């Protein structure tokens, strides 16, 4: 028996977007627009920073396992604290879900080229990982429902989805849910919830009280706290109680928790971030389509651009890097002909569009 199980040997480790500093040095640039990791270009929520400062004085104490944030979320969303979990980012909670619910013979089902974090986590468990193709860059929920077998334990859906940015509607989800047996756990990953929530067709899963659905959300995106590692989830209390048994006892850390509590109250920052993102989405989508690219309709804080092929995508990526614009090539997700571009500040978005124009219309420069 080898020391490392074959399914771990076969894994490709998660490769994060390149840091701005790395690109700046490598390409000898003065400034870099980092549009690769769906972060908030405005920085962290000021109220999160303020609230974090208050907790510096109690850093000698062990945290209360996220209880303060769980209470705040329960009050905010009018649910019981027993329905809420907090963790080291939503990926931290995802990792706990995988450890808690999956047995060796179980299958996980999702779309092709799903969020890479989920792909890596699920495959590290050594279970069967099955996917269904996209339809027009959207989840094909009827095909997913039809693909459920007696071994399926978890169905993973991200809404809005990463890397496509597309959503499925309330009506589509309701129809899907009717076809999913009670014994199957649905993970509804709503990392980009805030960007889509005002769309009346978007199913805010907080209003679903299904016993087999767990909703995951994060402070990493619109609240600008990706570096703090703080996320949360809502589910039936029986699911949460079991997750709490498996979770690291002191996760999340005190400062991350405090940042989340501060951010939740920061309505002004939320509003400003959403306005900036909406402008960015409009500019990037319209400009890139004008250049002839297929751009999936996004309800998140990034757009996915489809190139003519993998070679064009790689060449564009390189030309953007040389101009100091860092985007995310999607080969690791399983989409080698696509690039994902996060929205930035107004200036960064403009810089990205100009860099793209120079890259696709070299004759005109």
Ligand X SMILES: Cc1ncc(COP(=O)(O)O)c(C=O)c1O
User: Which chain residues interact with ligand X by CB under 6 A?
Assistant: 38, 89-91, 115, 117, 158, 162, 189, 191, 218, 220, 226, 231
Q: How far is the CB of 108 from ligand X (least distance, A)?
A: 15
Q: How far is the CB of 227 from ligand X (least distance, A)?
A: 9
Q: How far is the CB of 291 from ligand X (least distance, A)?
A: 25
Q: Which residue is nearest to ligand X (CB)?
A: 89
Q: How far is the CB of 163 from ligand X (least distance, A)?
A: 8
C-beta closer to ligand X: residue 55 or 189: 189
C-beta closer to ligand X: residue 32 or 93: 93
Q: Could you give the count of Cα atoms lying within 13 Å of 164 in the half-sphere of its Cβ?
A: 25
106 Cβ contact partners less than 8 Å away, ≥ 6 residues apart = 127, 128, 151, 152, 153, 154
C-beta closer to ligand X: residue 72 or 220: 220
Contact 324, 33 (CB under 8 A): yes
Q: How far is the CB of 332 from ligand X (least distance, A)?
A: 13
The structure tokens listed for 93 are 């909670």
- CA 72/CA 279 separation, integer angstroms: 31
C-beta closer to ligand X: residue 195 or 353: 195
Q: How far is the CB of 82 from ligand X (least distance, A)?
A: 22
Task: List b or e across 24-36, with b for residues whose CB sees 16 or more CB atoms inside 10 angstroms.
Answer: beeeebeebbbbb
C-beta closer to ligand X: residue 44 or 89: 89
C-beta closer to ligand X: residue 27 or 129: 129
Best CA proximity match to 33, nearest among 359, 300, 346, 310? 346
- Alpha helices by DSSP H, listed for the chain, are 6-9, 20-27, 46-55, 67-77, 89-101, 116-123, 141-146, 170-178, 193-196, 237-246, 254-264, 267-290, 310-322, 346-360
């Amino acid at each position: 028996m080898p020391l490392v199980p074959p399914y771990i040997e076969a894994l490709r480790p998660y490769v994060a977007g390149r840091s701005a500093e790395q690109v700046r040095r490598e390409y000898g640039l003065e400034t870099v627009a980092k549009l690769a990791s769906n972060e908030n270009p405005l920085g962290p929520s000021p109220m999160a920073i303020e609230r974090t400062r208050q907790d510096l004085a109690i850093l000698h104490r062990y945290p209360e396992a996220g209880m303060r944030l769980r209470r705040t979320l329960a009050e905010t969303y009018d649910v019981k604290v027993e329905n809420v979990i907090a963790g080291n980012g939503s990926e931290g909670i995802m990792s706990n879900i995988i450890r808690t619910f999956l047995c060796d013979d179980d299958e996980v089902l999702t779309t092709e080229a799903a969020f890479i974090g989920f792909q890596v986590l699920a495959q590290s468990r050594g279970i069967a990982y099955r996917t269904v193709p996209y339809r027009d860059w959207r989840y094909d929920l009827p095909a997913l429902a039809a693909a459920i077998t007696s071994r399926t334990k978890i169905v993973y859906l991200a809404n809005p989805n990463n890397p496509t940015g597309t959503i499925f509607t309330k009506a589509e989800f309701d129809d899907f849910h009717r076809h999913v047996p009670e014994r199957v756990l649905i993970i509804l990953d709503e990392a980009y919830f805030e960007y889509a929530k005002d769309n009346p067709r978007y199913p805010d899963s907080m209003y679903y009280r299904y016993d087999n659905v767990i909703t995951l959300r994060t402070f990493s995106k619109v609240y600008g706290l990706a570096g703090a590692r703080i996320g949360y989830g809502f589910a039936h209390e029986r699911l949460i109680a079991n997750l709490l048994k498996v979770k690291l006892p002191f996760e999340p850390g005190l400062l991350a928790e405090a940042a989340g509590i501060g951010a939740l109250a920061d309505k002004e920052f939320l509003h400003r971030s959403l306005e900036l993102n909406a402008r960015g989405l409009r500019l990037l989508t319209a400009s890139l389509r004008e250049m002839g690219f297929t751009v999936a309709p996004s309800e998140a804080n990034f757009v996915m651009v489809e190139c003519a092929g993998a070679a064009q995508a790689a060449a564009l990526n390189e030309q953007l890097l040389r101009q100091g614009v860092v985007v995310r090539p999607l080969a690791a997700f399983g989409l080698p002909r696509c690039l994902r571009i996060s929205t930035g500040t107004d200036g960064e978005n403009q810089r990205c569009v100009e860099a793209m124009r120079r890259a696709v219309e070299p004759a005109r420069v």
